[in-house]
Structure 1
Amino acid sequence: MPILIIAFVLFVLLDIAAMLWGYDSRDGIDSAEWVRRQEWQLSHLAQED
């Protein structure tokens, strides 16, 4: 039982740390993600040549 309590407390602390110092990577409705993906793909294809 003590291990279960310790694991629960660790998960709660990790959740709090994620809320405080985490990064929100969600894109908005007007995101140009497809443009970034296309540019990324083209830049990696050019590096292979």
Structure 2
Amino acid sequence: MENPRALLLEVAKDYLNHSQLEAVTDKQYGKGVTKYIGLAVSRYYGEEI
């Protein structure tokens, strides 16, 4: 994959907008991780989701 920007922004959007994904991910890795990753990726690419 030459430029993963679009894919990573979609993943970030999913992390920030899907409560089931958030519940499962936070349960496995710790509370707040899902939101942190989503915000970090979106800010890295200069997007506010």
TM-score band by shorter chain is: 0.3 to 0.5
The alignment's TM-score, normalised by the length of structure 1, stands at 0.33
Larger CA Rg, structure 1 vs 2? 1
The alignment's TM-score, normalised by the length of structure 2, stands at 0.33
